[in-house]
Amino acid sequence: MIHPNGARGDKQAAVSSFARAYGAKPPSYALEIGRIDTRMLGPDLCLATYEERHRGERGRARIASAVLRRRPQGGIEWLQLQETPAPHLDNE
C-alpha cells in the first residue's frame, strides 16, 4: 500500500490499522466510494480506480488505484493499493 502522504505499508500494517479504527468514528462518519472504473489486465487480474470520500472528515478525499486478483479458491486478493490526495473532491 502506498498512502496519500507517500509512505509505504505492508499488508499486516493495513490490517492492524483497520482493526484499530473499527468503531472509533462517530455515527455521522461514512466512507463513500464512487466513480469506480475497472479494467481487466488478465483472466484473473483487474485494475480498479475509484474516488474515496470520508464524510465527516474533510481533507481526506483521495483517488485510489488497486490491483486485484481472483483467488482460485474464491474471493479476491488485493495485490497493490495506491492512494493519491484529492482535496478538490471535498468541494464537489
Share above pLDDT 90 across residues of the chain, in percent, rounded to a whole number: 59
Residue 37, pLDDT score: 98
Residue 35, pLDDT score: 97
Comparing CA positions, the residue from 81, 85, 33 lying closest to residue 54 is 33
For the entire predicted model, the pTM comes to 0.84
Residue 92, pLDDT score: 72
| Separate counts of helices (H) and strands (E) for the chain | 1, 4
Q: If pLDDT is split at 50, 70 and 90, which confidence band does 51 have?
A: very high
Q: In the predicted model, is pLDDT for residue 64 greater than 90?
A: yes
